Amino acid sequence: MRHLIKGVEKFQREVYPEKKATFQKLANGQNPEVLFITCSDSRIDPNLVTQTDPGELFICRNAGNIVPPHSNQTGGMTASIEFAVAALGVQHIVICGHTDCGAMKGALNPEGLDSLPHVKEWLGHCRSATEVVKERCGKLSADELEEVTKENVLQQLQHLRTHPAVASKIATGQVILHGWVYNIEKGDVLCYDDETGKFETMDDAYAESSTSA
């Protein structure tokens, strides 16, 4: 904990003065372009990976980068998505999974989560991903972790489309969805390509084709 306190001191002493104008502007409101949904895993830092500044990303985090399908029961994710899209007017929504995801390991072995009932119930939102991989691979084991991680991103994108605020903006071309997987060890980010149906290496071509909303 001591290093956190020292970090705050360093921020106030060194970082804030350099970005004072930015923070003063942000004090009166925000206008992020991107809603970034990712895992709560401590190894993931969205601003570090994307090299963005405060105010550029509206970030939602939870175990497994999950988006529950829309329902009449209000939850934190549902409210945050609605606010980001309908109130803040984000133009892009990224769902970013990652390698070695503990939530995906749990989704592969739900029987091992009996002592974590809330986690087990939450990961029920990943069941479509595990079922797809099981059907495709003929089995479901730890060897399929990468496939489940990728498929989960795709399934959560499908869930996003059930949210009225998102569906309406997609229909009018005001919001674009993106599926990413971040490799912690290598620093790579793979992005889903609708044309190839695969996760591809991020490059300039992807940047050009995916930035217009």
Closest to 103 in 3D by CA, of 134, 78, 132, 125: 125
pLDDT score at 122: 97
Whether the predicted model's global pTM rises above the 0.75 cut: yes
At residue 26, the pLDDT reads 96
Looking at residue 212, its pLDDT comes to: 60
Domain residue ranges in the chain: 1-30, 32-209
Element at 200 (helix H, strand E): strand 198-201
Torsion sign across C-alpha atoms 22, 27, 28, 30: positive
pLDDT at residue number 202: 87
Q: How many CB atoms lie within 10 A of CB 158?
A: 13
* Per-position b or e across 88-118, b if 16+ CB within 10 A of its CB: eebbbbbbbbbbebebbbbbbebeebeeeee
- pLDDT value for 78: 96
For helices 145-160 and 127-137, angle between their N-to-C axes, nearest 10 degrees = 130
Indicate the DSSP class of residue 198.
Answer: E
Task: Determine which helix (DSSP H) or strand (DSSP E) holds 170, and give its type and residue range.
Answer: helix 164-171
The answer to whether domain 32-209 has CATH 3.40.50.620 is no
Summarize the annotated binding site as residue ranges. Answer: 39, 41, 98, 101
Residues of the chain below pLDDT 50: none
Nearest to residue 156, comparing CAs of 62, 19, 91? 62
SS3 199: strand
**Tokens linked to 21:** 């104008």
DSSP per-residue string spanning 30-91: ---SEEEEEE--TT--HHHHHT--TTSEEEEEETTS--PPP-SS--HHHHHHHIIIIIS--S
Which pLDDT score, from 0 to 100, does residue 213 have?
Answer: 56
Annotated binding-site ranges for Zn(2+): 39, 41, 98, 101
At 116 the pLDDT is 97
- Provide the pLDDT for residue 204: 74
